[in-house]
Amino acid sequence: MLAIDLSGKRALVAGIADDGGFGFAIARRLAEAGASVCAGTWPPAYGVFTKLLQRGKIDESLRLPSGDRLEFERIYALDAEYDSAEGVPDELRENRRYREHADFTIQGVADRLQADFGPQPVDIVVHSLANGPEVRNPLLQTSRRGYLGAISASTYSFVSMVQRLGPLLRPGGSFLCLTYMASEKVIPGYGGGMSSAKAALESDTRTLAYEAGRAFGARVNAISAGPWASRAATAVGVIGEMIAHTSKNSPLPEPIQADDVASAAAFLSSPLAASVTGATLYVDKGYNVMGMPAAD
């Protein structure tokens, strides 16, 4: 039987703060395939997430189909808007949700990984991060600060992670990010520069596939997922309408599930996809191929 086998691999999944998003689903699927998993969690959500784990509040979500349990090897505080400690403003360092973490930057997590596991500690890096401070604003009403904030948190963070974690990858390692079809089609309500951030993310995926492939031997891919009602996605404000519309008009007329995306992520992270790089894989029940609404 042909199976995805990630035994002996270590993954870092950046962007896990609860059990409801794509990041958590991907972590579960990677663990199911045999990988050990470390999580990167936004510092303001770190305490809540670790308490959920400690108090058994998400035990059911942690259970794998085999009966085993997803156990995170490490949970690192990560704010991917900051590349290194030198760029963190003093007022943020003193924020009560940040000050307990010594170095929550991308370089800080890279250093922690090496300190915990050695010089080449990771095989798989998943970027499940996106934030647009003005996502509910139409593009015409988005400020420069809001627009650049969306690009910084949602797009450049991936570039920075490939820069700093690429040298830490073992042979055959891979990077993966999550995008959305607002990169190429108009999705009313998905504003604040987030559509531009996703378009840039897909472009960067192609360029990074070339550059990181030559520099580190790493593969770089993206998954364009259909809409999913994670807690983070509720910030968009129209997520319910997005799901209803795509479900009605897709070739497979039903909503996607987080596990659909997770399964695709496990494939792209595995040796089965050893020759796949620079790709954007749609996991959206085929909605991306439609040119007009489906007939009733």
Per the CB < 8 A criterion, the answer to whether 171 and 182 are in contact is no
The catalytic position among 46, 147, 156, 190 is 190
The catalytic position among 46, 180, 210, 282 is 180
Locate 204 and state its tokens: 């960067």
CA distance 101 to 111: 14
What SS3 state is found at 246?
helix
- What type of residue sits at position 212? A
H or E element at residue 150: helix 144-151
- Counting runs of H as helices and runs of E as strands, what totals does the chain give? 10, 7
CA distance 198 to 189: 15
Q: What length is written for the chain?
A: 296
Quote helix, strand, coil % in the chain, to nearest 5.
45, 15, 40
Which residue shows structure tokens 């009605």? 248
Beta strands in 80-144 (DSSP E): 122-127
Locate 223 and state its tokens: 């998954």
Kindly give the interhelix angle for 144-151 and 194-216, rounded to the nearest 10 degrees: 30
Per the CB < 8 A criterion, the answer to whether 29 and 266 are in contact is yes
Most distant CA atoms of the chain, gap in Å: 58
Q: Is 190 a catalytic residue?
A: yes
Q: In 3D, which of 287, 193, 189, 202 has the Cα closest to residue 234?
A: 189
Locate 196 and state its tokens: 């531009």
Q: Which residues are catalytic?
A: 180, 190
